């Protein structure tokens, strides 16, 4: 039932720190690459939601670093959307290196606000419609 998407990326020169590994702060950006791809694919990206009067800022972010990443290393970032009936977007991430070893895992929770920055207490219609299709198995 979770929805999944994968993107690839290569570790950049500027992403490496003094310890010769990818600086931990850049993983936020790695996660975002997968989230953007999922959002686009399912029509719930930042701009899709924005055009419906919905802002989806990030409420919580968590990263566990398992194996360090080096310059030029090719990674895959798997993004996983978990179903919810709340007006939230719950996503999970798994970063793997070329040998398919897990480099990092984590999750992100987005809340939903209207354009006056007030919290949606129940799912706004556009997102509810998406969740209904999801629940009915009409997204793959």
Interacting residues toward a copy of itself by CB under 8 A: 12-14, 16-21, 23-25, 28-29, 32-33, 36, 40, 46-47, 50, 55, 57-65, 68, 71-72, 117
End-to-end CA gap in the chain: 8
Closest distance of CB 11 from a copy of itself, Å: 11
To the nearest whole angstrom, how small is the minimum distance from the Cβ of residue 64 to a copy of itself?
A: 5
Residue whose CB is less far from a copy of itself, 27 or 134: 27
With H, G, I as helix, E, B as strand and everything else as coil, classify residue 14: helix
CB of 79 to a copy of itself, least distance (A): 14
Going along the chain, which residue ranges are E strands? 3-10, 58-65, 74-82, 88-96, 102-111
Instruction: Please say whether the beta carbons of 65 and 24 come within 8 A.
Output: yes
Rounded Cα–Cα distance for residues 35 and 41 (Å): 10
Minimal distance, residue 132 CB to a copy of itself, in Å = 26
Q: Which is nearer to a copy of itself, 53 or 68 (CB)?
A: 68
């Amino acid at each position: 039932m979770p929805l999944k998407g994968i993107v690839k990326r290569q570790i950049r020169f500027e992403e490496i720190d003094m310890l010769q590994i990818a600086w931990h702060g850049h993983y936020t950006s790695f996660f975002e690459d997968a989230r953007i791809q999922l959002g686009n694919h399912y029509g719930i990206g930042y701009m899709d939601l924005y055009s419906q009067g919905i802002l989806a800022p990030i409420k919580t972010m968590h990263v566990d670093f398992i194996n360090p990443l080096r310059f030029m290393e090719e990674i895959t970032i798997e993004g996983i959307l978990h179903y919810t009936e709340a007006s939230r977007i719950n996503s999970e991430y798994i970063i793997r290196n070329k040998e398919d070893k897990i480099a990092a895992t984590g999750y992100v929770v987005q809340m939903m606000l209207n354009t006056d920055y007030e919290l949606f207490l129940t799912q706004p219609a556009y997102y509810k419609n998406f969740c209904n299709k999801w629940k009915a198995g009409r997204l793959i």
